[in-house]
Amino acid sequence: MSGLVIASVVALGGLGVIFAIGLALANAKLAVHRDPLTQEILELLPGANCGACGLAGCAAYAEALAAGKVPANLCAPGGAELSSQLADILGVEVEDQEGAFAIVHCNRSEAKQSVDYHGIKDCKAALLVRDRIYDCEYACLGLGTCARECPFDAIVMSPEGLPIIIEEKCTACGVCARVCPKDIISVEKSTSFVHIQCCSRDKGGVARKNCRRACIACGRCAKICPVDAIEIKEFLAIIDYEKCISCGKCVGECPTGAIGNYRQMRRRKASVA
């Protein structure tokens, strides 16, 4: 019996050695080897894997940078400082990175809740059950998916259930815009201060009935704009940020308050602080 036990142990040990050698060979053959430049770049990147650079993540961006396929200023979380560091490593010139931050295009605090939702606190999950929670079908669902998905904790939810962007933390990575199933968040350059805070495509009367601060497509903002930066599309005012000079004339002209001036909001925030 003891001979059989010893033989079994030896056989199992031999199999273990064979498998170990096989795994070692497979690891050596299949392992992904990064060149030193790619590794150096990767160690500088923030590791958020937010996709703001347009690639799958930090590793993909590092490889593309090392290969000279993309510019060094695409990492929004890293900002200008990281862009400068990457440019030094690569020996290239880098253009100044224009600041940007996320904007919430919804005034849903003035809309009535049409159903009492008790499901999973996730906007995408809620849409599988209902197409809306508030009278306005275009309104923010208020379940905080954007806040939870933000890799930089740059979003908090207001008492009314609307996302509030903390500009000091926002890196313009765009994750919040991508996860929002209602498409009410966009990333705009920080020099643009005037924004339409509504996404309703309903006709004016319906939009106003659902939310007192909705855009009613009256066209007054477009008429007063001195640079023709606003047009009405599908019963909604749209700003062309390439033309907009943020003069703010449309803000005072809007009869429902659907247009916000972020410059004034920042000044009020600074005065309170």
Tens of pLDDT, residues 127-170: 988 888 999 999 999 999 999 999 999 999 999 899 999 988 99
Residue bearing tokens 């643009």: 192
Q: Write down the pLDDT at residue 271.
A: 47
* pLDDT range class, residue 94, cuts 50, 70, 90: confident
117-124 mean pLDDT: 91
Return the percentage of the chain with pLDDT > 70, whole number: 84
Torsion of CA 167, 170, 171, 177, to 10 degrees: -120
Q: Tokens standing for 112? A: 């009535």
Is there a contact between 190 and 207 (Cβ–Cβ < 8 Å)? no
* pLDDT range class, residue 32, cuts 50, 70, 90: low
224-229 mean pLDDT: 97
Distances (CA, A) of 110 to 98, 195, 258: 33, 17, 11
b/e code 188-215 from CB counts within 10 Å (16+ = b): beeebbbbbbbbbebebebbbebbebbb
Instruction: Give the chain's domains with CATH numbers.
Output: 36-90 (1.10.15.40), 107-187 (3.30.70.20), 191-273 (3.30.70.20)
* pLDDT range class, residue 270, cuts 50, 70, 90: very low
Q: Write down the pLDDT at residue 205.
A: 94
Q: Tokens standing for 88? A: 């030094």
Which residue, 199, 187, 180, 195, is CA-closest to 141?
Answer: 180
Is the dihedral angle over the CA atoms 136, 144, 154, 164 positive or is it negative? positive
Least confident of 108-112, 160-164, 188-192, 258-262: 108-112
Distances (CA, A) of 136 to 96, 125, 232: 41, 18, 19
Q: What is the DSSP letter of 181?
A: T
Is there a contact between 215 and 256 (Cβ–Cβ < 8 Å)? yes
Element (DSSP H or E) covering residue 233: strand 230-233
Q: Tokens standing for 132? A: 């809306």
Does position 252 have pLDDT exceeding 50, yes or no? Answer: yes
Does position 212 have pLDDT exceeding 70, yes or no? Answer: yes
Is there a contact between 236 and 196 (Cβ–Cβ < 8 Å)? yes
Is there a contact between 153 and 170 (Cβ–Cβ < 8 Å)? no
Q: Write down the pLDDT at residue 26.
A: 62
Pick the residue with more confidence: 265 or 108? 108
3-state secondary structure of 260: strand
